[in-house]
């Protein structure tokens, strides 16, 4: 049985006071939202607020996560954040290879792979994102695109390493658009990913790795998505900025 995992990606939003207030609102109500269920919850604030938000989340069931990192542990890499630093701040998760990083910062599968391995070496749980664009879906290339991203970003990991990772299927056309994938569309790609895990690794890995869906998840559509057998959680953008909406998503998980 895979434990569902709901993670908020706050992206480049909020100021410090707002980030702290959101963390406090989540902590105040998270136990009630979880309600004794087996569900894992994470929040990924902007990197400059990891420290203050981490202090507010400490001792709560909400794990702290970062939205990106560099693969080196330290050194002359101006402007970057290392996996060691994220651990130092109490991070449990790090989102890697988000489509916004692939699109706006030209991140490649090879870089995502290096980051994923470095995150694992330092004890972080990587949340590795894959997903096709609208043009790719319309051209019938969804499977090929996701398979290539899996191949380049993940398949170099050992079975022990991949078992720790979370994969997030985030179709680019669904991110921030309000156009959510149908539960069936999500399930199809999630099953595809599970088959890729089976053919590259083994049935133990394929049944253990959690695959989140991300892209316009909200308090209204989460339940239908999460009901699908291979949808093991959600990576939530916009709706994670409102405590009540995010908590509702946690409560239906
Ligand atoms: P939205 O939920 O705002 O569509 O963003 C999804 C996302 O990119 C999460 O990483």
Report domain extents, the chain.
70-238
Catalytic position from the list 71, 98, 122, 190: 98
pTM for the predicted model, two decimal places: 0.98
Which of the 8 DSSP states describes residue 220?
T
Closest ligand 1 atom, residue 95 Cα: 10
**pLDDT band of 1, cuts 50, 70, 90:** confident
Length of the chain: 253
Q: Which of 42, 99, 175 for mutating ligand 1's site (highest number of atoms within 8 Å of CB)?
A: 175
Which residues have C-beta within 8 Å of that of residue 101, sequence separation ≥ 6? Answer: 68, 107
Contact assessment for residue 222 and residue 253, using Cβ atoms and an 8 Å cutoff: yes
**pLDDT band of 237, cuts 50, 70, 90:** very high
Rounded-to-10 torsion of CA 88, 89, 91, 96: -90
Rounded to whole angstroms, how far apart are CA atoms 213 and 166? 11
The architecture that CATH gives domain 70-238 is: Alpha-Beta Barrel (3.20)
Q: How far is the CA of 71 from the centre of ligand 1 (A)?
A: 24
Q: Name residue 236's beta-bridge partners.
A: 8
Closest ligand 1 atom, residue 99 Cα: 8
Of all protein residues, the one whose alpha carbon is nearest to atom 1 of ligand 1 is: 237
Q: What average pLDDT does this structure show over 153-180?
A: 97
Q: What pLDDT shows up at residue 248? A: 98
Axis crossing angle, helix 183-200 with helix 142-153, rounded to the nearest 10: 40
């Amino acid at each position: 049985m895979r434990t569902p995992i709901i993670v908020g990606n706050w992206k480049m939003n909020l100021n410090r006071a707002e980030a702290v207030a959101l963390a406090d609102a989540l902590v105040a109500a998270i136990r009630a939202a979880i309600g004794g269920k087996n569900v894992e919850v994470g929040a990924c604030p902007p990197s400059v607020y990891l420290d203050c938000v981490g202090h507010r989340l400490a001792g709560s069931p909400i794990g702290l996560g970062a939205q990106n990192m560099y693969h080196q542990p330290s050194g002359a890499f101006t402007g970057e954040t290392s996996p060691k630093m994220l651990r130092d701040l109490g991070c449990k998760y790090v989102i890697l290879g988000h489509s916004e990083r692939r699109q706006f910062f030209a991140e490649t599968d090879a870089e995502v792979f290096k980051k994923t391995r470095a995150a694992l070496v330092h004890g972080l749980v990587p949340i590795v994102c894959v997903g096709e664009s609208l043009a790719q879906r319309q051209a019938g290339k969804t499977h090929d695109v996701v398979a290539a991203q899996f191949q380049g970003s993940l398949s170099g990991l050992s079975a022990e390493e991949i078992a720790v990772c979370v994969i997030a299927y985030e179709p680019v056309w669904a991110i921030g658009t309000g156009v959510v994938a149908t539960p069936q569309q999500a399930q199809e790609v999630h099953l595809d990913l599970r088959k890729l895990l089976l053919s590259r690794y083994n049935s133990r890995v394929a049944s253990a790795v959690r695959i989140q869906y991300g892209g316009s998840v909200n308090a209204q559509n989460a339940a239908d998505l999460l009901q699908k057998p291979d949808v093991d959680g959600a990576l939530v953008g916009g709706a994670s900025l409102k405590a009540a909406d995010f908590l509702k998503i946690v409560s239906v998980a």
